[in-house]
A and B are shown apart, each in its own frame.
Chain A
Amino acid sequence: MFYSPVITNAAEAAKSDRLHLFKYVEDPDQDKLDTFVKHGGYAAWRKVLDGMKPDEVIAEVKTSGPRGRGGAGFPTGMKWGFIPKDSPKPRYLCCNADESEPGTCKDRVLMERDPHGVIEGMAIASYAIGCHLMFIYIRGEFFFCAQQIEAAMKEAYAKGYLGKNIFGSGYDLEMIVHTGGGAYICGEETALLNSIEGHRGMSRIRPPFPAIEGLYACPTIVNNVESLASVPHIINRGGEWYKTLGTEKSCGSKIFSLSGHVKRPGNYEVELGFSLKKLIYDEAYGGGILGDKKLKGVIPGGSSTPFLLPDMIDVNLDYESLVEKGSMLGSGAVIVFHEDTCIVWVIKKLIHFYRHESCGKCTPCREGTGWLEKIINRIEAGQGKPGDLEKIDDICNNIMGRTICPLGDAAVMPIQSSLKLFRDEWQYHIEHGKCMVKSDFSFG
């Protein structure tokens, strides 16, 4: 078994009537088609092909109102509705499995342990938008995920769940597994499409949006793995049921990838609106801060979202509540830092990542991230100059909202937030040439 040894709350999900994504992820045979079917898998796929019209599928998903789990949180059903009805071109579905946001590792668990769940979700989405060829774009480093998905796909083909005339419905659906080369930018939907087409992974300018002109200039829907994986459950139990999960505006359940200085880092499926504090401190989840130290800050939605201070963590994990606190739900990667963390060091690591992953297409991101990295490295190394912070802030402003894709924004959001929330620490670094904290920590 090559499963990544990540802690999940599968036991809780198994007992729950409401949690559904993680119900069987600890079952070692869940990746086999028979076991998957025994657990109720592909029932939704049959139901859909048995007599639901594509529009009914879209309506069901629209009713339930889940928002995209990839980070931007765009309503899934609404996205499907953007496919032009009268276009003579073929349509495509691309499952975005290029999960690369630092801190995020939820899709990986689903693909490794429940690959059929992902395929079923993709199939239903394909049917809904009238697509006959679907792609899954898997991050290059996720070698095992790709193996699992590919094996599951072969089994699904062999047993007639994919291919020509599925279940005698007359509906054909082909699937292609495409692995990336390990570029973060390819998780951005238009760069992903470029990559599938064989071009450099660089984002395209919008409009046209992929739903109008996407893969090979045809209408295309790009959905995140987790978004698609929840679709079968919506079909099985109805949009109305799904709507009862979570909060009114952020419905459904969501997997949070908890990492950093917590005792039990792992993936936890909870209903949206779950308390962040509980997620970090509850024994069933994070189990508290490593070494029982004091909390310093939390990034609640993946490395590209602003920090939350300890007094702000009494917040519900849903799209609206986090925005109220000045941050974002993002991809649901909760990164926890304890008191001995040097924030400048954290930002140095982050900006290194973003500089390295910037595709180089548009000027502000390409040049700005490089410049920021140089300044931040200098400060971290104790050679910061007066005025550096203002300069960083200014560069961030010149990147924010000025780039083609959100990578630029993602790079500067944690920096600007840290400058605001931890300014004294930055200042200390420049004035004293060293960390304010002990910084004898590591991320293991």
Chain B
Amino acid sequence: MTEDVKTKEQAKPEVPMVSFTIDGRQESVPKGTTVLEAAKELGIHIPTFCWHPKLKSVGSCRMCYVEIEKWPKLAVSCATEVMPDMVVFTNSEKVKQGRKAILEFILANHPLDCPTCDKGGECDLQNLTFAHGIDDNRFDFQKNRFTSSTEGTTFDDKRIGPEIILNRNRCILCYKCVRANKEAFGEYDLGVYERGNIAEINSAPGKQVTNPFSGNLVQICPVGALTGADWRYKIRVWLTKTSPSICNFSSSGANILFYKDENKNKIHRVTARRNDAIDDGWIPDITRYGYQIVGSDERLKTPLIKKEGKQVEATWDEALDLIAKKLNEINEKKGRVCIGGMAAPHIDNAGLYSFSKLFRTVFKNNNVDHRSNYRMLPKEAGSHYITLCNRKFRISDIDDSDVIVIFGSDLLKEHHNLYLRIRKAYNFNNSRIFSVNPYSMKSSDVSEAELVYNVGTDEVLVNAIGLAAIEMELVDNTIGQKFKEKIIHKTLSEASGVCGVDEDLIKLIARAIANSKKISFICGELFSRSLARDNISSAILNINKLFGIENKGQIIALARYANSCGANKMAILPNPSKAVVDKLTELWGEYPEAEPKNTDAMLALMRKEEINGALIMGMNPIMMYPDRQFVTEGLERLDFLIACDMFETETTEIADVVLPMSSWAEYPGSYVNQEGILQTVPAAVKKLHQSKSPFEIVKCIAEKLEAQLFESDEQLNNEIEQLLSINDSDILPDEFLKVKFNPEEIEDDYLIPLFIGDDPHHSGYLTQKSNSLNNFRSEAYLELSPELAQKLGIEGGESVRVESPVGKIIVPTIISDYLDNDVVFIPRNFSTTPVTSLLMRKHRIDRVKISRVDE
């Protein structure tokens, strides 16, 4: 059932091959391969502790010794390149002696406390000691001992992060954790202290390891020095079974492995399942600890029906009967066109496709959308925004891009795996990175230049890059003149004045784009969420044409959710592309002619009581849609609301029928990640409580309405397959596009731009049910720069009142090293702080005023 996406690392043809002998085998490998990598490739096992495939070799543990003919000393294979005619022995007596000596050294000060160690059974040190048959200990001294200040424990158990427990006695100082933290994640909250044989790994003084990738440190620890608080002492690893899956909280589709107790139908842990095309073996904490929502006590256990204003438990039959009755009533009264549907983009393809088919063939309307988190989306199929979103790209191509532009994207908050790719390109490829955003953010530390433009001038800045290229004569002048005709600001100085970025910086990035050999131009959530997304898209498509970006690289418009791309392909859009409509017509023999309505349109019609019933699946628009008042009013005026979810949410609270939905771990499904990779995963556990998978829910509803969506599973799979195989590539416009620009009107009282997004440790509204993630952050905060804090007279940690024309909340503050430009940020992940109540859907930029609570 599982279909791992295989690594697409083919030997590049231009790399010359080197032939050598290893253990008597004549082999050849690409030049530059280390002996260790070559051996792994050839299936020869060489033990390691400090080596990691995605980190630079440091050769510190010395476990990977090999003998090389004519070399006087043993060589460390992780840092020795294969040379022509080299003769390597990986298992000679000298090698065995060398490795055994290293193990003896390592074990000298190791406590050998395996019975109380949680790593037992999956410990590299345990396994290698076993493999080398060491049964003697010549070290007859008191071992070096660290003691932690934690009282009531006999060993060094030091909590160095919300989820990490450190035991320095077990540490063998391979430094892998510190190196990964620094090299791969760009974090410095874990370090080495002291020196020599009393060196220790520890968190920075007075600090905790709270970075959003901290769980990886536990996974790569070769011994029990770093253990995960969420896993240890719960179950022995050999009593668990593993089940492959993918992340359901991010669009990268990072590959994971569930560790489950089959008897108790419970998941105990998630680890990364390395897939170089997607995640390089690193997963963010959201992916690692997000699984806890599956087994949460707060899961909806049975269907709920509203009776006399109160929701009470009901059976599936009661709930479904009521649904059928009410939907038929609406149908009879006003027609089925008055039923709206929203389905979450983290549901699998089968769920989404059946949802679309239910609406289009049974309700005969086009009221479906999966994008409930964006304001005022374009309705039409061919909008420039959609064109941009449909650009084809490969995440792994970022690795060797020489120029990377990050435009409108706080990657650390929204696209963790992509963020790591950027760092990798910087570390291993010396890529030039340009961060172009309305505020300063973490990726700036690897950026050659950070361009912070005035809030709400995105398209002007993009135009300015084009203008700079024209003024420096980096592009053809006649084409340049055509470009100029379509934009408002005609000179670089004018545009630079409007967007507030120094001309030299714009010239620098223009030159970099023009001279690059392979470029990745990344557009993220700040751009997708903007009301002016269509306009900005036009500007980006223009400079794509001007510089020929796609001729020598790629434009990456990022999707946000686990199956956003799948939802597009499954036609959970009011107005899918013509190819999709044609295919659906062919499959179904019909296609509704009703006017397509997106989320905004549906909500507006609900307010006007022109849509009377709605089916919302796995979504919480009240919390996530950027205008809480608007969405609440709409949903409250419905005659009949069906909400399916895993938990009680703001949306299920006002629903007439609530259906318990299974999580992605409980049903098999296929998902399409941001770059279009299809991944199929099995169910890890049996469905919990009385929940049903999204597909089953749709199927049950259809059956109650006496409609049969699919005759068989084969039919379902076949139809999905046909939809997936549509190559939906948009044709780029021939001409430059007109780029409008309306300067924002600012109300005097409300001056401070507010950005809403995800906390680095949370995603959407579901992760607040994960205890581990809550240990990192469990409540909302207002993040602001030290300068702004000083201006407002606010101290870090203090609670402030945040007011907009439509709402008011009180949140504590956090002073951040980033976020200059006088903007503030509030995460949207916590029900306790209804931050979307500050937002208005028709505003391009939400502005607020901030005051101290005591004022």
Contact = CB atoms under 8 A, between A and B. Distances in A.
Interface of A: 183, 200, 204-205, 207, 355-364, 366-371, 374, 385, 391, 398, 401-404
Contact of A356 (B73, B141, B175, B196): B196
B58 A369 contact: no
Contact of B175 (A357, A361, A364): A361
Given A358-B196, A364-B62, A367-B109, 14 more contacts: A205-B58, A358-B197, A361-B175, A362-B62, A363-B102, A364-B102, A366-B196, A370-B108, A371-B105, A401-B72, A402-B73, A403-B62, A404-B59, A404-B60
Interface in B39-76: 57-63, 65, 72-74, 76
For A207, A356, A360, A368, which residue has the most chain B Cβ atoms within 10 angstroms? Answer: A360
A356 B199 CA distance: 11
Closest 6 CB pairs of A and B: A367-B105, A370-B197, A398-B101, A360-B199, A358-B196, A401-B73
Nearest to A204: B58
For B63, B101, B140, which residue has the most chain A Cβ atoms within 10 angstroms? Answer: B101
Main SS at interface, chain B: loop
A11 to B, nearest CB: 43
B80 to A, nearest CB: 9
Contact of B173 (A183, A366, A403, A404): A366
Contacts of B194: 360
A363 B109 CA distance: 11
Nearest to B107: A367
B791 interface: no
20 contacts: A183-B195, A205-B58, A357-B196, A359-B195, A360-B195, A363-B105, A363-B172, A363-B173, A364-B102, A366-B173, A366-B196, A370-B108, A370-B109, A371-B105, A385-B140, A398-B98, A402-B62, A402-B74, A403-B62, A404-B60
B588 interface: no
Interface string B162-206: 000000000011010000000000000000101111110000000
A352 B186 CA distance: 36
B711 to A, nearest CB: 64
Interface string B372-393: 0000000000000000000000
A371 B172 CA distance: 15
Nearest to A377: B141
Nearest to B76: A205
Given A360-B173, A361-B60, A369-B196, A374 B105 contact: no
Contacts of A356: 196
For B65, B109, B196, B198, which residue has the most chain A Cβ atoms within 10 angstroms? Answer: B196
A355 B197 CA distance: 8
B498 interface: no
B204 to A, nearest CB: 14
A49 B210 CA distance: 55
B199 A366 contact: yes
Contacts of A368: 105
B196 A370 contact: yes
Given A205-B57, A401-B72, A360 B102 contact: no
A213 to B, nearest CB: 12
Nearest to A199: B182
A361 B109 CA distance: 15
A361 B61 CA distance: 8
B141 A374 contact: yes
A366 B104 CA distance: 12
A362 B49 CA distance: 11
B79 interface: yes
A357 B198 CA distance: 11
A363 B196 contact: no
Given A370-B109, A371-B105, A401-B73, A363 B61 contact: yes
Interface string B137-162: 01111001000000000000000000
Contact of A362 (B57, B61, B72): B61
A360 B178 CA distance: 14
A290 to B, nearest CB: 33
A359 B109 CA distance: 17
Interface string B522-554: 000000000000000000000000000000000
A380 B62 CA distance: 31
Given A368-B105, A401-B72, A355 B196 contact: yes
A366 B49 CA distance: 15
Contacts of B138: 391
Contacts of A398: 98, 101-102, 104-105
A300 to B, nearest CB: 23
A70 to B, nearest CB: 21
B123 interface: no
Contacts of A357: 196
B59 A205 contact: yes
A217 to B, nearest CB: 9
Contact of B106 (A355, A359, A367, A404): A367
Nearest to A375: B141
B59 A362 contact: yes
Contact of B79 (A183, A205, A359, A370): A205
B108 A401 contact: no
A361 B98 CA distance: 17
A360 B62 contact: no
Nearest to B63: A363
Contacts of A385: 140
A359 B192 CA distance: 11
Contacts of A200: 192
A369 B139 CA distance: 13
A363 B222 CA distance: 15
Contacts of B62: 362-364, 402-403
Interface string B242-284: 0000000000000000000000000000000000000000000
Contact of A363 (B60, B139, B140, B141): B60
Contacts of A355: 196-197
B98 A402 contact: yes
For A357, A363, A369, A401, which residue has the most chain B Cβ atoms within 10 angstroms? Answer: A363
Nearest to B61: A363
For A183, A204, A367, A371, which residue has the most chain B Cβ atoms within 10 angstroms? Answer: A367
B431 to A, nearest CB: 14
Contacts of B74: 401-402
B176 to A, nearest CB: 13
Nearest to A374: B141
A404 B63 CA distance: 13
A357 B101 CA distance: 22
Given A361-B58, A363-B61, A364-B62, A371 B196 contact: no
Contacts of A402: 62, 65, 73-74, 98, 101-102
A41 to B, nearest CB: 40
A175 to B, nearest CB: 27
For B104, B105, B199, which residue has the most chain A Cβ atoms within 10 angstroms? Answer: B105
For A205, A207, A358, which residue has the most chain B Cβ atoms within 10 angstroms? Answer: A205
A204 to B, nearest CB: 8
For A183, A355, A371, A385, which residue has the most chain B Cβ atoms within 10 angstroms? Answer: A371
A188 B288 CA distance: 41
Contacts of A359: 195-196
For B63, B72, B104, which residue has the most chain A Cβ atoms within 10 angstroms? Answer: B104
B446 to A, nearest CB: 15
A325 to B, nearest CB: 21
A183 B109 CA distance: 24
Interface in B105-120: 105-106, 108-109
A358 B60 CA distance: 13
A193 to B, nearest CB: 14
A364 B58 CA distance: 14
B96 to A, nearest CB: 13
A371 B108 contact: yes
A205 B75 CA distance: 11
Nearest to A398: B101
Nearest to B109: A367
For A374, A391, A398, which residue has the most chain B Cβ atoms within 10 angstroms? Answer: A398
A183 B108 CA distance: 25
